[in-house]
Amino acid sequence: DIQMTQSPSSVSASVGDRVTITCRASQGISNWLAWYQQKPGKAPKLLIYGASTLQSGVPSRFRGSGSGTDFTLTISSLQPEDFATYYCQQGDNFSLTFGGGTRVDIK
Amino acid sequence: QITLKESGPTLVKPTQTLTLTCTFSGFTLGTTGVGVGWIRQPPGKALEWLGTIYWDDDKRYSPSLKTRLTITRDTSKNQVVLTMTNMDPVDTATYYCARTVYPALKGAFDYWGQGTLVTFSS
């Protein structure tokens, strides 16, 4: 199995802050990496796929980057609606795994 | 408009077999590249992929749960069924179904159901 390690597990930030979340794969996955946002009691929402492609309707303040084993999700200017938990997920070779999640809460 | 919805029992007993149905609309599982996956989330914990069935009836399962899982489809009813045997209280979770498109989405799921919580009765 490919393991996905997310960091940090939680971050406290203020509205307007730049937030960066990283995800590391235990082996190379090219760009088969997605990012999701999940709010309490709701299903995950796809933000980015292919490591850097923004899903339709997702604000441009969300940016994904990386390839191989190291990936980053950046929120350029945190908005009140962005306080949530974020997950990375790899899709290489039809065997999928999720990261442990990063909770973004209000400082 | 694409929608997915999970249905099935909310309470199960240890050793029972769980059967969940995902009923979807707005897309066809027979379309090249389309897949429907199952993902679960124990209360307060991370997401865990269980398995995916694809347009060509190829099925892929989580290695750690493979012996307990079966995913089937009924294309005429727009349904995908997950069967999980030998249920244990550690399987308490919200179970989601979601759509993927291979290879366009690179393994990601773009539409999700609302999820169904499965818990245990003694």
Contacts of A17 (CB under 8 A, 6+ apart): A77, A78, A107
φ/ψ of residue B50, rounded to 5: -105, -50
Q: What is the pLDDT of residue B90?
A: 96
Across chain A, mean pLDDT equals: 97
Report yes or no: A47 at the B interface, CB cutoff 8 Å: no
**A89 to B107: CB separation less than 8 angstroms, yes or no:** yes
Q: What is the CA radius of gyration of chain A?
A: 13
pLDDT digits (tens, 9 = 90+) for B62-100: 999 999 999 999 999 999 999 999 999 999 999 999 999
CA–CA gap between residue A75 and residue A43 (Å, rounded): 20
Residue A92 in tokens: 């290489």
CA–CA gap between residue B95 and residue B18 (Å, rounded): 11
Strand runs labelled E in B8-122 = 11-12, 18-25, 34-41, 48-54, 59-61, 69-74, 79-84, 93-101, 109-112, 116-120
Q: What is the mean pLDDT of residues A13-33?
A: 97
Q: What is the pLDDT of residue B121?
A: 84
Q: What is the mean pLDDT of residues A76-103?
A: 96
pLDDT digits (tens, 9 = 90+) for A42-77: 999 999 999 999 999 999 999 999 999 999 999 999
Residue type, A26: S
pLDDT digits (tens, 9 = 90+) for B3-43: 999 999 999 999 999 999 999 999 999 999 999 999 999 99
Which residue in B22, B41, B106 has the most chain A C-beta atoms within 10 A of its own C-beta, making it the best mutation to test that interface?
A: B106
Q: How many CB atoms lie within 10 A of CB A5?
A: 13
**A89 to B47: CB separation less than 8 angstroms, yes or no:** yes
Question: Among partner residues B47, B64, B110, which is closest to A98 by beta-carbon distance?
Answer: B47
Per-position DSSP letters for B59-73, written without gaps between them: EEE-TTTGGGEEEEE
Q: What is the pLDDT of residue B102?
A: 95
Q: What is the CA radius of gyration of chain B?
A: 14
Q: What is the pLDDT of residue A47?
A: 98
